[in-house]
Amino acid sequence: QVPCETCTKRGCAAICPNGSLTAGKGNRMVLANTEELHNQIEIMSTRIRELEDALTILQSEVSDKPHDLLKDTINDLLRESPLSTAAEPPAPGGGSSGDSSGAAETANGEPKEDAMIDAFGTLAIGSKGELNFTGSTARPEVSLRHPKVPMRTRVLTSYVLARHPQPLMKPTGERQILPRLSKQIMDAWLPDFDGRSQPDPNLTRAVMNLLPPLSEAIRLCEIYLEWGKVLWSPMQRSELFDEVIQGVYRAESFDSMASSHYLALLFSVFALASLFDERKSPYSAEAQEYAVLSHVALNFKSPCFETSVYTVHALLHMATYLDLSDLKMDSSQSYIMIGFAVKLGYRIGIHLHGIRWNLGEVCVQKRSNMFWHLFMMDTWLSFATGRPPSVSPVWTDVPYPNDEWALTAVRWNVGHMWALKYAVLLHHVMTTAFSGTPPTYATILELDRKVRDFPVPPHLRPRCEGDVLANGLPMHLQRHFILAYKEAALLNLHRTYFAQALKDKPNDPLKHKYGPSVMAAYRSAWRMIVCQAHSIKTVPKIMERMGIFWSQAFSAAIVMCMIASRCPNSSMAQSALAELDSVHDTFTKFAPVCKPAQILLVRVFSS
């Protein structure tokens, strides 16, 4: 009987499985609203995720254990639900990124999991953890394995043989192929692409001899982990001590290390730690020495050929170091370095979910954590330099590191998670407001609303009174950073319209059509100045090492200066002048002991 009694009782007689679809009212197919249904499911799923995130933040304030209601998250439910695959078109080859069980099969009888891997590319893993990702559109010859011949020799051989079918001489060495070119010229031609040659043992020995004693190394690692709560993407304690420290200090030589870039990563850890070592002066020579050693060790085995997660992490640390130690405060070097790190990250497929290749949960979470910190650093350095970012969210499906992992890795990582998610919004702001096509003013105001409405957990909101250090120095700096993140975005979002309003209506810029931008710029500048003054009063020694905060205070001072000088009769001029005096006094007072303040003052008075 069609429809059956069960379908009739449930009110779905029209879609009883009788081999055809029944026309509904108005001769419209009953399943014509499937897209609307899936859209509604997606909206509800997004809302559930937001509620889960909020519950996670609240739970973290009272307990280290996850809330009972978070045991089965919406991501797990969607992954297990057939709706997760039905709501999306099948990938080429019948694969789906949502199902890794291998139980389902494609039409040709192959496991669904294998079809999915073929659709997205191949991830090859070497003996020392080096990875190589090849996408589905790569040329077929890319998958062929080259013999272990130096890259420079392969390039030269191909170049010469293409022009001389009969070899002039045996290609046993570079000088024989191009006899007129000296070794000095050859080394200057492709210094970074001799990826298959062995490093000079005398050089590796000399670099390893510059490692600090183990006790000092452990002390620096503790500083690195403490400051990593705020300033960079730290490794897990177990990974740092059990893998990297032991892998370097127990190795008899560089060649015996488990990973080719353990040494570079460890030196980058020492460089970052030395920047904030209270036993050393700000911007110390030791920090720069460790940074140089990290660069040298990275090139013992070319990062372009032997790329691993440790390679990318070392480059991420180098970019962070360059940004934090950059007394020129233009972020150009760090912008280039993070771009290199992103490209190598793409080489190991870090922009794709590791579950595709059946990687373990720890490895998947490590890759997710690495990708999102790459994304965050790339976005902020692009914002700081006004240049295009290297990463786009449309190319990735990597989930955020889960909260349980985050809390296990770093107790303060709720702040890290906020910064990762805020970076996605900032990326959207950059591509919308600062791309080649100028946006409308209505779009600017909409972006302003999104930035202001982006939620900040209560425990991460700045506090101007009470014992600000009751929860520790990292928490105080985290609050300062979060305020600076939002206000810097708002200030740059309104800067052009702010300047135009001051030019057109100097007597009362608030009555200009861009008046909202004038008020927004003034408020953001005021908050930056007040927060800077508060932090200097609370943690003066730390502020001597934080060039980024001085740069932001300088940007805020420019806003106040423009109001006071171009609109002297406006209602905001008096208060702007007072704030400008406050910033000047702060810079003048700290210039003798703070290099960033000193450099900025010199630039102002010499211009």
pLDDT in tens, 252-291: 889 889 888 999 999 999 999 999 999 999 999 999 999 9
Task: Give domain limits for the chain.
Answer: 5-80, 151-189, 201-397, 438-606
312 pLDDT band, cuts 50/70/90, is very high
pLDDT at 231: 84
- Determine phi and psi for 119, rounding to 5 degrees: -70, -30
388 pLDDT band, cuts 50/70/90, is very high
**Assigned token pair, 407:** 């809390």
414 pLDDT band, cuts 50/70/90, is low
98 pLDDT band, cuts 50/70/90, is very low
- Pick from 479, 473, 482: nearest CA to 420: 482
The size of the chain, in residues, is: 607
- Interatomic CA distance for residues 514 and 147, integer angstroms: 64
Question: What's the gap between Cα 358 and its chain centre?
Answer: 24
Residue 592: partners with Cβ closer than 8 Å, 6 or more residues away? 598
Any idea what DSSP says for residue 354?
G
- Interatomic CA distance for residues 140 and 136, integer angstroms: 10
Any idea what DSSP says for residue 245?
I
- Pick from 367, 322, 353: nearest CA to 232: 322
Please write the tens of the pLDDT for every residue from 538-552. 888 889 998 889 999
Q: Is the model more confident about 135 or about 586?
A: 586
pLDDT at 11: 66
Q: Is the model more confident about 567 or about 147?
A: 567
pLDDT at 142: 44
pLDDT at 416: 80
- Over its C-alpha atoms, the chain yields an Rg (Å, rounded) of 29
Amino acid at 91: A
Query: CA angle, 112 as apex, 110 and 113 as ends, to 5°?
Result: 110
- Interatomic CA distance for residues 216 and 418, integer angstroms: 33
**201-220 burial code (b ≥16 CB/10 A, e <16):** eeebeebbeebeeeeebeeb
Question: Is 322's pLDDT higher than 60?
Answer: yes
Would you call the peptide bond into 191 cis, given omega within 30 degrees of 0 as the criterion? no
Indicate the burial class of 322 (C-beta count within 10 angstroms; 0-12, 13-18, 19 or more). Answer: buried
- Interatomic CA distance for residues 559 and 554, integer angstroms: 9
Question: Is 464's pLDDT higher than 70?
Answer: no
pLDDT at 345: 95
**Assigned token pair, 304:** 């372009």
pLDDT over 90 percentage in the chain:
41
Q: What is the DSSP string of 72-124?
A: S-HHHHHHHSTHHHHTSPPPGGG--TT--SS-SB-TTS-BHHHHHHHHH-EEE
538 in Cβ contact with 480 (< 8 Å): no
pLDDT at 331: 82
- Interatomic CA distance for residues 26 and 30, integer angstroms: 10
Any idea what DSSP says for residue 545?
T
pLDDT at 52: 78
Please write the tens of the pLDDT for every residue from 132-189. 665 544 444 444 444 444 444 444 444 444 444 444 444 333 334 567 666 666 655 5
320 in Cβ contact with 287 (< 8 Å): no
Question: Is 510's pLDDT higher than 60?
Answer: yes
- Interatomic CA distance for residues 3 and 264, integer angstroms: 70
128 pLDDT band, cuts 50/70/90, is low
Report the phi/psi class of residue 455: left, alpha or beta, with left for phi > 0 and alpha for psi in -120 to 50. beta
